[in-house]
Amino acid sequence: MTEIVDFAQNLARQAGRLLVEKLTKNNQIYYKGTIDLVTEADKMSEKLILAEISLRYPDHGILSEESAAKNERAAMRWIIDPLDGTTNYAHGFPFFCVSIALEKEGTVILGVIYDPTRDDLFTASRAGGAYLNGKKLQVSSVNDLSRGLLATGFPYDIRVSPDNNLNFFNAMAVKAQAIRRSGAAALDLAYLAAGRFDGFWELKLKPWDTAAGCLMVIEAGGVISDMAGEKWDLLSPGLVASNGLIQEQMLKVFM
C-alpha cells in the first residue's frame, strides 16, 4: 500500500495547493441549483486529480463529484471530491478540503483528506489506523452527549424539501453542548477522527462526501451508522458518526 498511499497524499497536496492559489484570484462561479454551486477551482482541481489517476492507474474506476463515472466495473475505484466546502471557498471562508478515497471491490481501503489552509493531511488505511500529519489519531473520550461538540450540515434542497435536517438540528441543539455547521462534511469527519468533534450527523450526503472521512472515523476508533442505527453504506440516505461513546445517545434524539 505504501506506493498508492504516497500517490494519494501527493495528489491531495497538489490539488490543495491549486485551490489556495486560486482562492485569492478571480474565480468563476456556476450554479447547479438555487444554492448549489461549483467554481472554476472545483473543475481545475478535479481535472488535475483525474488526469494523474488515469495516467498512473488507467484501469481503475473513478467516481468524482463533477464528472461522469469512469470504468464502473473496475475492482479498484477512486472516489473524489476535488473541493469539499465549495460555498465556503467561493466566499473566502477558509474551511474546505480535498477528499480522495480508494475502494477495492466495494470496500474503502484508503482515505486522504487535505486541508490546504492549515496544511493538515489526514490519512487512513483499512486496518492501518488514521493519522494527521503522521501522528496517530484517536477519537475523543467524551461519554455524555450534553458535553459533546457535534457537527452537522444541511442539504442543498433545504428551501424546498421537508427532509432538511432542521427538525433534527432543533432537537439536538438542546441535548448537546454545542453544534457547529462548518460546511465541509469530509473535514467534519476528519475532525471527528482527530477528537476535535465528538459526533456528526447529516442527511443526503454523496459517496465523495463520506468515503474517506468514514474510513478515518472507523480507523480512529469511532463508529458509524445510518439514522436508524443500522449498517451504513455509501448510498445510505443519512449518516451518524461518533466516538462510539455517545452514538446511542445521539440515535435516541433521531428516533
**Do 117 and 6 share a domain, yes or no?**
yes
Tell me which of 106, 136, 166 is where a domain ends.
136
- Amino acid 35: pLDDT: 64
Phi-psi region of 43 (alpha: psi -120 to 50; beta: other; left: phi over 0): alpha
Tell me how far apart the alpha carbons of residues 255 and 253 are, in angstroms, rounded to a whole number. 6
Prediction pTM value: 0.95
CATH of the domain at 159: 3.40.190.80
**Do 10 and 121 share a domain, yes or no?**
yes
Tell me how far apart the alpha carbons of residues 142 and 198 are, in angstroms, rounded to a whole number. 7
- Amino acid 156: pLDDT: 81
**Do 20 and 127 share a domain, yes or no?**
yes
Tell me which of 136, 162, 193 is where a domain ends.
136
Tell me which of 136, 154, 187 is where a domain ends.
136
Instruction: For 151, list phi and psi in degrees, rounded to 5.
Output: -130, 150
Residue pair 195/140 in contact (Cβ under 8 Å)? The answer is: yes
**Do 44 and 120 share a domain, yes or no?**
yes
Report the sign of the C-alpha dihedral through residues 98, 224, 201, 145, in that order: negative
**Do 125 and 151 share a domain, yes or no?**
no
In total, the chain counts a number of residues equal to 255
**Do 94 and 116 share a domain, yes or no?**
yes
**Do 128 and 178 share a domain, yes or no?**
no
Which range marks the domain in which residue 154 is found? 145-254
**Do 151 and 246 share a domain, yes or no?**
yes
Instruction: For 6, list phi and psi in degrees, rounded to 5.
Output: -60, -40
Give how many domains the chain has, as a whole number: 2
- Amino acid 237: pLDDT: 93
- Distinct helix (H) and strand (E) counts, the chain: 7, 14
**Do 111 and 35 share a domain, yes or no?**
yes
Tell me how far apart the alpha carbons of residues 178 and 151 are, in angstroms, rounded to a whole number. 9
CATH of the domain at 94: 3.30.540.10
Query: 10-residue block means of pLDDT along the chain (255 residues)?
Result: 96 97 78 74 94 97 91 96 94 95 97 98 98 98 98 90 92 98 97 98 97 98 97 96 98 95
**Do 34 and 130 share a domain, yes or no?**
yes
**Do 101 and 179 share a domain, yes or no?**
no
- Amino acid 192: pLDDT: 98
Give residues with Cβ within 8 angstroms of 167, minimum separation 6.
Answer: none
- Amino acid 39: pLDDT: 83
**Do 175 and 200 share a domain, yes or no?**
yes
Q: By C-alpha distance, which of 200, 227, 204 is closest to 214?
A: 200
Using CB atoms within 10 Å of the CB of residue 58, give its burial: 0 to 12 exposed, 13 to 18 middle, 19+ buried: exposed
- Amino acid 200: pLDDT: 98
